[in-house]
Amino acid sequence: MTDSTTASWGSPFTEEEELYRETVRTFISRELEPRYLEIPARGPERRQLWRKAGEAGILGACIPEEFGGAGASTLCNVILSYELGRSASYGTIGSFVATDLATSMLVQGGSKALLDRWAPKILSGEVVQCLALTEPNAGSDATAIRTTAVREGDEYVINGQKTFITNADMADVIYVVVKTDPTKRGRGMSVLLVESDRPGVTQRPLKTMGFPAGNTGEVYLENVRVPVGNLIGEEGGAFKLLSSSLDADRLQIGGRALAQAELAHQLTVDYVKQRKAFGHTLLEFQNTQFKLAEAKADLEAGRAFFHSAVRKVRAGQCSEADTAMTKLWLTEMSVRVIDNCLQLWGGAGFMDEMPISRIYTSNRVLRIYGGTSEILKMLIARSL
């Protein structure tokens, strides 16, 4: 489903951004929604979809014009994420192409040589990217990572493991967050671009609770050598790159949570209008009306909160606490709305064939990645 309410009165998005939204919707409605249940998690067909996304013009929106891109703001990533969440296909195929925050790291810190080499392939969908930060013992506490990169002449030698990474099992370009100076914790972290075909790189898919055709995986790096020129930003500058990327990531996750809740509500309203019990439609029961009314109020408040954050981003006034509050409230709200909606489906809602079922399971991770709800509360409290 691709109809949306974000273009309603008071939308904070520009005309150009709304045109980009329409491009994304068209791609989703043509390429994903008619057959998302048959799309494989990996393989040639998945690769072909990436190329089609490139042909549609929805990849690499933030790449500057001099490198062939549109030079758009990170708000295009937010729009892409929202529209994917507003589609029933998301609960099956996962984030898919809504991972352009990796591109923003290349744009922020990559050299001209790296952008000349990779920008055209990113835009065309020829290459798949991923950002590898999380490790088995380091999630929200990024400074706890153990993956190291030791400089030897004109190369870095990387050793470590990354896990729970979107697109990790099929990525061609991996932005690996490493410790170049383990004695300095956060100030000793750097980002290196690693081509997945380098010796010592092993990629493996992971099976998750949601997203039957999703691409969550892990990466092993054993004595992987990359040239010094593959450094993104400055040595020890990972935190600066990650801070802006994580803020944008939290906003786009919040948008996706809002979109999923909106979709669940719309599907449920349609369902209770035709489902009957004891000779009446479910919508005629006061409990149904109250639950859907509560959800509607939550959605309207959530949309206002989301739009407020977008306006702050555009004005350059969106703080870490702002993005933390936005993600916290929207993801917590979405699970409340979706759970109440599924309840109104009864046994049908528990069936995997029903879109509401996969909306429910896929929504759960939104309160975990990009910063757990608990970590976000700490960030907000720190700003008081």
Q: 361 with 333, same domain?
A: yes
Q: Are residues 57 and 167 in the same domain?
A: no
Domain identity same for 253 and 377: yes
CATH of the domain at 187: 2.40.110.10
Please check whether residue 5 lies inside any domain of the structure: no
Q: How far apart are CA 260 and CA 94, in angstroms?
A: 12
Bridge pairing between strands 173-179 and 129-132 = parallel
The answer on 198 and 266 residing in a single domain is no
Residue 7 falls within a domain, yes or no?
no
Same domain, 354 and 273: yes
Please count the structural domains in the chain: 3
Residue 170 lies in a domain: yes
User: What one-letter code names the amino acid at 84?
Assistant: L
Range of the domain at 159: 129-236
Domain boundary among the residues 199, 221, 236 is at 236
Q: Check whether residue 307 and residue 372 sit in a common domain.
A: yes
The full DSSP string for 124-135 is HTSS-EEEE--B
8 located within any domain? no
Q: Is residue 155 domain-resident?
A: yes
Residues 144 and 230 in one domain: yes
The answer on 315 and 252 residing in a single domain is yes
Q: Are residues 215 and 280 in the same domain?
A: no
Domain boundary among 195, 216, 236: 236
Q: Buried b / exposed e across 5-31, counting CB within 10 Å, b at 16+? A: ebeeeeebbeeebeebbebbbebbbeb
3-state secondary structure of 318: coil
In this prediction the pTM is: 0.93
Domain boundary among 204, 236, 268: 236
Is residue 162 located within the same domain as residue 116? no
Is residue 113 situated within a structural domain?
yes
Are the C-beta atoms of 115 and 59 separated by less than 8 Å? Answer: no
Question: What does pLDDT average to in each consecutive run of 10 residues of the chain (384 residues)?
Answer: 48 94 96 93 91 95 94 92 96 86 89 96 95 88 91 97 94 96 91 98 95 94 98 93 85 97 98 95 97 98 96 93 97 98 97 96 94 94 95
Q: What are phi and psi of 30, to 5 degrees?
A: -90, -40
pLDDT at 4: 44
CA pair distance 209, 219, nearest whole angstrom: 20
Query: What is the SS3 assignment for 272?
Result: helix
Give a yes or no: residue 190 inside a domain: yes
Would you state the structure tokens that stand for residue 149, as one six-digit string?
């990169």
Q: For residues 298 and 337, is the Cβ–Cβ distance under 8 A? A: yes
Question: By three-state DSSP, how is residue 370 classified?
Answer: coil
pLDDT at 102 (0 to 100): 85
Task: Give the tens place of pLDDT for each residue, 63-121.
Answer: 999 999 999 988 999 999 999 999 999 999 998 888 777 898 999 999 999 999 999 99
Residues 99 and 21 in one domain: yes
Q: What is the pLDDT of residue 9?
A: 55
Find where tokens 């998690």 sit.
41
| Residues ≥6 apart with Cβ < 8 Å to 4 | 21, 25, 82, 83, 86, 259, 262
| 251 shares its domain with 231 | no
Does residue 3 belong to any structural domain of this protein?
Answer: no
Contacts of 325 (CB under 8 A, 6+ apart): 376, 380
For position 89, which CATH number holds?
1.10.540.10
